[in-house]
Every structure is written in C-alpha cells, then in structure tokens.
Amino acid sequence: MELSLDKIAEFVAGELEGEAAKRICDVAPFEHATADEITFAGAPKFIKRIEETSAGAIIVPLHVQAPGKNVIRVKNPHVSFTKVMGLFHPPDRPRPAVSAHARIGDNFVHGVDAAIAPGVVIGKNVVIGDRVILHPNVVLGDAVVLGDEVVIYPNVTVRERCRIGSRVIIHAGSVIGSDGFGFAFDGDVYHKIPHIGIVQIDDDVEIGAGNTVDRATFGKTWIKKGVKTDNLVHVGHNVVVGENTLLVAQVGISGSVTIGKHAILAGQAGVAEHLSIGDHAIVGPQAGVGRSVAAGEIVSGAPEMPHQRWLRVQSIVPRLPELKKHLADLERRLSRIEKGSAQE
C-alpha cells in the first residue's frame, strides 16, 4: 500500500510542509524509519533529533520547524501517528459467516456480516449487532446482548444476561459476568450469596487478556464508555468505572468501588471495598488504597499517601540502617549523660 503525503495530511487534518506527492509505503519508529516510511516526533527528545532521522516524513507538533524535511504538523502527533498506523495496517477481519461447528441456542438474532468461528457456543435468546466477530471457543450465555462491531477473542466467556455495547474489544481468556466474591458467615461456615445482577460494558471499551469482571449482587457492575483495561485486571461486583479511565495490569478492585472518569490505576494497585476514586485521580503502581481518593489527587504506596510525601518516604528508606545506627548511638550517649547527672 502506498499513500501520498498530501492524502496522509488530509486524513489527520494536518498542515503539510514538503513534497505533497511523496509516496509513503509504511510506518516505522523514529530511529529505524527509511525514506519511504513515515514516523512521528512528539516528545522533546525526538524533536531535538529530527535531523538524524532518515524518515520520508515526520508527524510533528504545530510549533516545530524542520527545514529540508517533509513534516505534517498536528495538534497531537501521537494520536495522528496512531491513526496513520491504522491506515497502513488495518486489523484482519475474518470472512463473515456462521460456522457449522458453532453451537447456537434458540432465538438467536444477529446483524449483518457476523463472523462466528468454530467452537463458539451461544445460549438462548442472544442478540448481537452488525459486523460482530466471535473467535473460536467464545461462550455467550443466555440472553446476552452485544452491540455493533464487537470483537471477542478466543476463550472468552460472557455469562448470562450481560450487556456489551458497540465497538467493544475483549481479549483472549477474559470472563465477563462471573459471580462476585460474596459469602455470608454464620460463625461456622460461609454461605454463598446469590449474584443476580449483570455486567454492563458501554461503547468503545477495550478489555485486556485474562480479565475478570464480576456480576453485581443486585443491579449491575458498570464499565462506562471508553474505559481501557490492561491484562490480568480484576473488577469486583457492583463496581462502577467511569468514562475513559485506565486500569493497568494486575489492578484489583474490590466490590462496590466507584471510580470516576479519566482516572488512572497503575499496575498492581489494589482498592479496598466501598471506596471512591475521583475524576482524574491517579493511583500509583502497587499502591494499597484503603481510603477514598479525591478528584485530581495522586497517591502512591501501601498504605496509600499523597505522591509527594511517598517520594520523600522512599528517599529515606535506603538510609534506615544508617539512621537506626545513629539513633542507637544517640541513645547510648543520652544514657551516659543521664547517669552522670544522677550521680551528681
């Protein structure tokens, strides 16, 4: 595939300076791009090195000047380059068909151009939209609803009555709608609490591989529009995750937590039950959150604390052996002084 620079600039609504008719055949990283490839320079460390790249064209911020180079100036080079990558490398799409080796229950309704692979199991009263792709061994429980252009990768289970919006991607091995971890203790044994709610996943969500999203006890566990999760994320029952929030690898969220929009929970962060994380809050990696976090707050550590305080604490930790020795020395000196005063 080849595209001229003026067509690429038009596609990303950018300002082109250079050879409009120049043909570009692929995308490449800054250090390895060749004369027929396009790259991007968004960070200052790359902008300073624009003269070093052999790329046929560079996508740059609006303020960048690069005489002698073919550049496309845009507001956000990273986003624009991502879109251009999609032009040259569109996702593979299987041929629309319902495999004879799928097992499909009664009253199944699907939209146009569905691609249902061998080994798929679909329960009763399931409804899916247009251009849905179900890869091998996907299981959809009874009364599941999927929107348009949903892609579900192999070995995913979406249990009964869960609802998935449009343009949702669910990666391999994830389970949507598993029972929440809820038991009533009578002093001797634990009695399982029925979880009769659902999971609702709104439009434009991407769920990583090996995720588990538990169904609600009552009502719904709710993943709102635009949320992106990394691999091995656990979302407990009745959790609400706000729009465009990021959950990074191995995040664990206990039941009945509410997370605002545009929040970020970094890798291996854990949140205790019944707490709230505000809009635009950031929870650092391996943080253990035992209190609610206000909107815009940045916390780190276990137990969590304001990030700047955590940085100060971490700077002290390597010195603890030295400080302990110094403190013991001070205690011995103080003890000698006190003994001398007592003898007087």
Joined tokens for residue 63: 């303020």
The span from the CA of 130 to the CA of 45, in Å, is 44
Provide the annotated active-site residues.
237
Indicate which CATH number applies to the domain containing 133: 2.160.10.10
User: Are 216 and 121 part of one and the same domain?
Assistant: yes
Same domain, 70 and 104: no
129 and 78 together in one domain = no
In this structure, the answer to whether residues 68 and 150 fall within a common structural domain is no
Place of tokens 């396009």: 38
Whether residue 40 is contained in a domain is answered as yes
CA distance 240 to 271: 13
**Closest of 226, 288, 303 to residue 260, by C-alpha:** 226
The answer to whether residue 183 sits within a structural domain is: yes
Alpha carbon distance 68, 47 (integer Å): 14
46 and 177 part of one domain:
no
Whether residue 78 is found in the same domain as residue 140 = no
For residue 195, give the DSSP letter: -
Same domain, yes or no, for 59 and 184?
A: no
- Report if residue 331 sits inside a domain: no
Instruction: For residue 180, give the DSSP letter.
Output: P
What confidence score (pLDDT) does residue 9 get?
Answer: 97
Q: Is residue 291 in a domain?
A: yes
- Asked if 297 and 314 touch (Cβ cutoff 8 Å), the reply is no
Q: How many structural domains is the chain composed of? A: 2
Residues 160 and 215 in one domain: yes
Question: Is 323 within a domain?
Answer: no
Q: How many CB atoms lie within 10 A of CB 317?
A: 8
Among the listed residues 176, 189, 253, the one whose alpha carbon sits nearest the alpha carbon of residue 215:
176
Name the pTM for this structure.
0.88
Same domain, 14 and 129: no
Contact 307, 328 (CB under 8 A): no
Looking at 70, 88, 106, the residue that finishes a domain is: 88
Please give the residue range of the domain that contains residue 61. Answer: 3-88
Q: Say if 335 falls within a structural domain.
A: no
Cis peptide before 91 (omega within 30 of 0): no
Q: Which residues of the chain have pLDDT under 70?
A: 342-344
Q: Residue 52 belongs to a domain with what CATH number?
A: 3.40.1390.10
Q: Looking at the domain assignment, is residue 235 inside a domain?
A: yes
The reply to whether 175 and 298 lie within a common domain is yes
Gap between the Cα atoms of 60 and 73, Å rounded: 5
Cα(222)–Cα(238) distance, rounded to whole angstroms? Answer: 7
Query: Based on the domain organization, do 76 and 121 belong to the same domain?
Result: no
Residues 221 and 296 in one domain: yes
